[in-house]
């Protein structure tokens, strides 16, 4: 049976300025992109498929941004 760990309490101070919120969004997007890249690199498929997947992700993101 798995044991439950004690809850962790975290205090987060969000940026108060528009510039700060933008910087947070940019940094969060960078972390997310790195995680996606690491996930794709670990996939058990040929490099060509990985490149196609990355191209599709980029295409989807650009399309979403323009819509």
Q: What pLDDT is recorded for position 1?
A: 66
Confidence of residue 9 (pLDDT cuts 50, 70, 90): very high
Tokens of 30: 């960078």
The pTM of the full predicted model, rounded to 2 decimals, is: 0.68
What is the 3-class SS of the chain, one letter each residue?
CCCCCCCCCCCCCCCCCHHHHHHHHHHHHHHHHHHHHHHHHHCCCCHHHHHHHHHHHHHHHHHHHHC
pLDDT digits (tens, 9 = 90+) for 55-66: 999 999 898 888
């Amino acid at each position: 049976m798995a044991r439950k760990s004690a809850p962790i309490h975290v205090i987060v101070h969000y940026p108060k300025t528009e510039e700060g919120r933008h910087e947070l969004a940019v940094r969060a997007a960078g972390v997310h992109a790195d995680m996606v890249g690491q996930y794709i690199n670990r996939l058990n498929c040929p490099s060509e498929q990985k490149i196609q997947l990355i191209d599709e992700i980029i295409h989807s993101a650009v399309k979403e941004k323009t819509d």
